Chains A and B, each alone.
Chain A
Amino acid sequence: MGARIEHPTLYGEGAAGPALYGARCAACGRVSFPRQSFGCEGCGAYGEAMAPVELAARGTLLSFAFVRKHMGADIAAPFAIGEIRLDDGPVIRCTLADALDERALHAGQRVSGVLAHNPKSGADVLELRFAPEGR
């Protein structure tokens, strides 16, 4: 049996690496994340107009922060959060790979997603993490 995905409605293994599950508005073309059909923030079109699309887990780092205080049991501080402009459009915030050096991160850097083990959730659970490309 393969490992379980931590948030299977949000992301998974796509045809060419990890993918995020988003939507493209058929009326205005806006691409959004996460996937929903309640309505488009750009124009208000809803329902079937919100076509499911897979967004490649690749983009550009806009900002990052090392979190040094965290209450949840899902991850131990310190860990890094990145703000990422996906190549497919939306800006997301995602946990970065473990054991990154703060000095190795900078805005404008290319980053891509990997499905990584999260030992805090069980050894067979995979969650999406981003890391600088070519690391």
Chain B
Amino acid sequence: MARALSSFRPVFVAGVGLHPYRKYSPTPYVALGLAAVREALTDAGARWGDIESAYVASALLGMAPGRPMLRHLGASGLSITHVENASASGSSAFRLAALEVASGQSDLVVAIGVDKPAMVELGARQAVLDLLERDRVSAFTHFALLAQRYADAYGATPEDFARVAAKNLANGARNPYAQRREPRSVADIVAAAPLAGFLTSPQSCPVGEGAAAAILASEDGLKRLQFERKRTVRVLSSASRSERLYDDEGGFDAALTEETVRDALADAGVSPGALDVVELHDAFSVEELLYTERMGLCDPGDAPRRLKAGHFDIGGEVAVSASGGLIAMGHPLGPTGLGQIAEITRQLRGEAEGRQHPDAKTGLAHMVGLGAVCVAHVLQRDAE
């Protein structure tokens, strides 16, 4: 019988750290990753020698970038495992780290995401087959097709899609780790450089460089660190799925999101309405409308109205992408899912300076990766 994460021993986030996301620079990835790990160690009050195992997420750096980076913290001999799961790499590294702690194998485990922009060959390109229009249907066109369908179904306007980017850019302007820190008006976003269909360039996430890290701990691990109890955040659940066949073939991202998030919420015993902060995969603006609905944060077709009414703002009913999301914080791939964990952890501790959602208790992190795969986690401020 399969067991949920909650049926194992408790897992906590003890520390988080980031290197700001930004455009490509000559800085080696080693420096980016070390900055994030050192920030997470300081946050957790841990020394590198305390960490028993590391999961290193990257999608673009090539084979085995972990030890050439981590040895500069002291070659402690800890377990190192690399994780590549496209855009969900960081989320999957976090999941594996959580499961390692939950199982009792380790008490202190770090998950690290680090990447720099690079061109890599996609597995799908080697897997098969000539696909019709592979080179003409880029990611933004895929999402433009979904946006057109959404507009047909619910009468959404160009402004409704642009408003997602306007909110997330406004949030990103308040996040020192975000790649895009300039707020833009809805009108300005609608009038920006067109990509395809309703989508313009500010409605597409920037892919730059950066790093993010999270240290996971058992109860024993927290004790070893003499960690301050009121700052602890518990990992309530972890869900991971891949695309299957859906009646609505073109809408697989949303269908996969719905079932993965449903698993994560059910295992956590949390209803969608109880979520205070949500970080979701808004690589393109339309995704936020689709996913907030399919996660159960609002009714189908109602996301534009909710967004306009401020329900998804910091200080609204539920803060969606308080970090700025992928659209503003950025999407360096390996780090992205762990950057979500860092943001949610800070929000739940009340430490999200300058962009704190009031009294945030429960958060959801959600990523979709090429394939498609989907990974979701529910985190909660520890009640004790």
Residues of A participating in the B interface, judged by any CB pair closer than 8 Å = 7, 9-11, 20, 33-34, 36, 38, 41-42, 62-70, 72, 74-75, 79, 81, 83, 90-95, 106-107, 128
Contact = CB atoms under 8 A, between A and B. Distances in A.
A81 B141 contact: yes
B132 A128 contact: yes
A120 to B, nearest CB: 12
Contacts, number: 86
B195 A34 contact: no
A90 to B, nearest CB: 8
Interface in B132-165: 132-133, 135-138, 140-141, 144-149, 152
Nearest to B146: A63
A83 B143 CA distance: 12
A65 B199 CA distance: 10
B128 interface: yes
**Minimum-distance CB pairs A-B, first 3:** A65-B144, A65-B197, A68-B194
A38 B127 CA distance: 10
Given A34-B132, A68-B195, A91 B149 contact: no
B250 interface: yes
A107 B149 contact: yes
B130 A7 contact: yes
A63 B195 contact: no
Contacts of A83: 145, 149, 250
A51 to B, nearest CB: 17
Nearest to B133: A93
Interface in B114-138: 128-133, 135-138
Given A34-B132, A67-B144, A81-B137, 16 more contacts: A9-B130, A11-B132, A33-B132, A63-B145, A69-B140, A69-B196, A70-B136, A72-B135, A81-B136, A81-B141, A83-B145, A91-B250, A92-B132, A93-B133, A95-B133, A107-B152
Contacts of B152: 63, 106-107
B384 interface: no
Contacts of A10: 130, 132
24 contacts: A34-B129, A34-B130, A36-B128, A36-B129, A42-B245, A62-B250, A63-B152, A65-B145, A65-B148, A67-B138, A67-B196, A69-B194, A72-B135, A72-B136, A74-B136, A79-B136, A81-B145, A90-B249, A91-B250, A93-B145, A107-B148, A107-B149, A107-B152, A128-B132
Interface string B180-210: 0000000000000111110000000000000
A64 B132 contact: no
Contacts of A9: 130
Nearest to A8: B130
Contacts of A20: 132
A67 B146 CA distance: 13
Contact of A95 (B136, B140, B149, B193): B136
Best-buried of A65, A67, A93 by chain B (most CB within 10 Å): A65
Contacts of B131: 34
Given A34-B129, A63-B152, A66-B196, A91 B249 contact: yes
Contact of A41 (B132, B149, B197, B245): B245
Contacts of B147: 65
A64 B136 CA distance: 13
B137 to A, nearest CB: 5
B249 to A, nearest CB: 4
B197 A66 contact: yes
A8 to B, nearest CB: 9
A106 B250 CA distance: 16
Given A7-B130, A36-B129, A91-B249, A67 B145 contact: no
B148 A94 contact: no
A75 B245 CA distance: 32
Best-buried of A9, A63, A72 by chain B (most CB within 10 Å): A63
Nearest to B134: A93
Contacts of B144: 65, 67
Nearest to A70: B136
A25 B2 CA distance: 32
A79 B369 CA distance: 27
A10 B250 CA distance: 20
A81 B145 CA distance: 8
A67 B132 contact: no
A62 to B, nearest CB: 6
A81 B133 contact: yes
A62 B133 contact: no
A94 B249 contact: no
